[in-house]
């Protein structure tokens, strides 16, 4: 999806503007605060990655934005402003069911995590595709719906003769492609993808990501891509927001996050993925385990696992602050508020804005031959003579 990298900077008008969003599970004193004070901006044509571990609140945030959060989940505060192409603005959290019905799918659509559960097992995929069109495009003839469904399948690389197939007759990758075709059926402005490739093998995952990049180039939709796989996100996203314990802790351009993380948790996540290049080094990941949302630690919820913890972190919650370096970089860490010098690992120079990731800094630098091979994605067979 990297073709979007340059495009996002040019068409940077806001599309979805999330402010102070809070979502709880349950009410009263026992409520679990799954998302707290989330501020997020998705620009037109952008791929925004939302990274975090299980329980960090990333899926809850996505469902809250689309008002798909099911009971006992409730949205307790905040606003989600959607700026449609025609120029008017809707607060999704204040919209009534009718307004939502108009927006959902045709403007904002969702690709769910598990295609097997999201598709109806007893209805053919052709019927499920035409069902969308029937519900949302009044006056479309049956034949036209059928033709459009065939066109959608072709678009995601499935031959139209599979229209009569049932979900169990398709492979996992094909089911996920059907989900993507359904999400794109009405040419939405925003597609929210919740771990769309997590259950798939790497080769299938890569094929689907390639197709997605092509479709994005054709159709120009923006993507909110949710995953726990930060190494994948850095490759495909324009900018990345990192969540921890229900809060956004860092926001940066993908390359800047990779080369110069500003939050200790982002740094820890980045050093949790073994590299495919360079000498093998002993890595430690992040000690401890993710917090229990029912009993979040006081102060910064990352402090029990943080190697740079200070006294202040145990009592005061750091706000998500705009950093001095600009480029929309934000981090929620007391090390970055300017009162003290940040440790070297969290103060690396960021690459210039809008540039793709280039080897530098903290990561082991691959040799010239290796990086050339990595760039082309090709590794020649050894000569046989």
Partner 1 sequence: MTELEVTAQPPVTGAPVLEARSLTKHFPVHQAHRTARGRRLGRGADGRAAGRPVVHALEDVSIALPRAHVTAVVGESGSGKSTLARVLARLLPPTSGEVLLDGRQLPASGAGRRAYTRQVQLVLQDPFSSLNPVHDVRYHLERPLRIHGLGENGASLDEAITSLLERVSLTPADQFARKYPHELSGGQRQRVAIARALAVQPKVLLADEPVSMLDVSIRLGLLNLLGDLREREGIAILYITHDIASARYLADTIAVMYAGQIVESGPAQQVTDEPAHPYTQLLRSAAPDPERAAPPVLAARGAPPSLVSPPAGCRFHPRCPHAMAICADRAPRDFDVTPGHASACWLHAKDLDAAQASPIARPPAGQPALARRPVSEPGKETR
Whose Cβ is closer to partner 1: residue 39's or residue 211's?
211
For residues 24, 261, 328 and 55, what is the CA-based torsion angle, rounded to 10 degrees?
Answer: -10
DSSP string, 322-360: E-TT-TT-EE--GGGSSSSPPPGGG-PPPPPTTPPP-S-
Residue 382 CB, nearest distance to partner 1 (Å)? 6
Nearer to partner 1, 106 or 165 (CB): 165
Q: Is the dihedral of CA 163, 165, 167, 171 positive or negative?
A: negative
Residue 230: phi, psi to the nearest 5?
Answer: -65, -35
| 3-state secondary structure at position 183 | helix
Expressed in percent and rounded to 5, the helix, strand and coil fractions of the chain are 35, 20, 45
Alpha-carbon Rg for the chain, nearest whole angstrom, is 22
Q: How far is the CB of 235 from partner 1 (least distance, A)?
A: 6
Contact 192, 16 (CB under 8 A): no
Q: Which is nearer to partner 1, 17 or 370 (CB)?
A: 370
Pick the closest to residue 169 from 230, 126, 199, 221 (CA basis): 126
Distance of alpha carbon 71 from alpha carbon 63, whole angstroms = 11
| Nearest approach, Cβ of residue 274 and partner 1 (Å) | 3
Rounded least distance, CB 337 to partner 1, Å: 24
Alpha helix positions (H), 237-310:
254-259, 264-270
| Residue nearer to partner 1 on the CB measure, 41 or 155 | 155
Q: How far is the CB of 135 from partner 1 (least distance, A)?
A: 28
Binding site for partner 1 (CB under 8 A): 2, 53-54, 157, 165, 169, 171, 173, 201-207, 210-211, 213-214, 228-232, 234-235, 258, 268-269, 272-277, 280, 282-287, 289-290, 356-359, 363, 366, 370-371, 374-385
Please, which residue, 97 or 161, has the CB nearer to partner 1? 161
Residue 259 CB coordination number (10 Å): 23
* Closest distance to partner 1 from the beta carbon of 74 (Å): 25
Closer to partner 1 by CB, 232 or 320: give it: 232
Cβ closer to partner 1: 39 or 214? 214
Give the shortest CB-385-to-partner 1 separation in angstroms.
Answer: 5
């Amino acid at each position: 999806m990297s073709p979007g990298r340059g495009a996002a900077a040019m068409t940077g008008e806001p599309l979805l503007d999330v402010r102070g969003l809070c979502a709880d599970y349950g009410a009263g004193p026992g409520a679990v605060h799954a998302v707290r004070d989330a501020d997020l901006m998705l620009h037109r044509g952008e791929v925004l990655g939302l990274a975090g571990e299980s329980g960090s609140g990333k899926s809850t945030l996505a469902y809250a934005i689309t008002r798909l959060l099911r009971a006992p989940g409730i949205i307790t505060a905040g606003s989600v402003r959607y700026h449609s192409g025609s120029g008017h603005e809707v607060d999704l959290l204040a919209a009534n069911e009718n307004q939502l019905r108009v927006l959902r799918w045709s403007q904002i659509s969702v690709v769910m995590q598990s295609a097997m559960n999201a598709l109806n097992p007893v209805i053919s995929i052709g019927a499920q595709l035409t069902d969308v069109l029937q519900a949302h495009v009044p006056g479309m003839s049956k034949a036209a719906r059928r033709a459009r469904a065939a066109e959608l399948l072709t678009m995601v690389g499935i031959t139209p003769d599979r229209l009569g197939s049932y979900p169990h007759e398709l492979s996992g990758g094909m089911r996920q492609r059907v989900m993507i075709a359904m999400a794109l059926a009405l040419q939405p402005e925003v597609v929210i993808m919740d771990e769309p490739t997590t259950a798939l093998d790497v080769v299938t995952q890569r094929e689907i990501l390639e197709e997605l990049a092509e479709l994005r180039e054709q159709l120009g939709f923006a993507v909110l891509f949710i995953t726990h796989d930060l190494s994948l996100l850095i490759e495909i996203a324009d900018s990345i927001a990192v969540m921890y314990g229900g809060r956004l802790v860092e926001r940066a351009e993908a390359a800047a996050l990779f080369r110069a993380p500003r939050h200790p948790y982002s740094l820890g996540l980045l050093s949790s993925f073994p590299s495919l290049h360079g000498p093998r080094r002993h890595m430690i990941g992040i000690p401890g385990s993710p917090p229990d949302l029912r009993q979040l630690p006081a102060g910064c919820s990352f402090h029990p696992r943080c190697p740079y913890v200070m006294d202040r972190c145990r009592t005061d919650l750091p706000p998500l602050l705009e950093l001095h370096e600009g480029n929309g970089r934000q981090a929620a860490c007391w090390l970055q508020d300017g009162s003290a010098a940040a440790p070297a690992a969290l103060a690396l120079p960021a690459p210039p804005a809008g540039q793709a990731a280039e080897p530098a800094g903290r990561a082991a630098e691959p040799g010239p031959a290796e990086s050339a091979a990595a760039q082309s994605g090709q590794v020649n067979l050894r000569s046989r003579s």
